[in-house]
Amino acid sequence: MKNRDVESVRSRAKFATLLRRVASAVEAGQPVPIQVAGQRVLVPADANQSVEHEASGAQSEPELQLKWRAKEASAPKSTAAKSKNKAHAKPKYTSKLEPKPKPKKRSA
């Protein structure tokens, strides 16, 4: 996975909805898909949960974190196998917070 450090500002209502959805999945031991800055991320069921607090001067920043190690990549598959399994390459999009990305229009 590429290095990435982004932040997504949300309305109070959307943030609360996200927290509820993540909390329900963590409590049930289920993976949960989230979208941050346009990229979908599937948080695995076995992610570690932690709470941090950082303070510097007048700024205070509590953080609720889910951390996990990416699974090691297996040996490359043949092109035929990649095409056959292409539908399974991305997690199913189930986020209710942000609209599902529109498919790209194909030019004739």
Domain boundaries in the chain? 1-68
Answer for the pair 17, 97: CB distance below 8 angstroms, yes or no: yes
37 φ, ψ (degrees, to nearest 5): 50, 45
58 DSSP 8-state letter: T
Digit-by-digit pLDDT tens for the chain (108 residues) are 678 888 889 999 999 999 999 999 999 999 999 999 889 999 999 999 999 999 999 999 999 999 999 886 554 444 444 444 444 444 444 444 444 455 566 665
- Stretch (H or E) spanning 19: helix 12-28
- Stretch (H or E) spanning 90: none
90 φ, ψ (degrees, to nearest 5): -110, 145
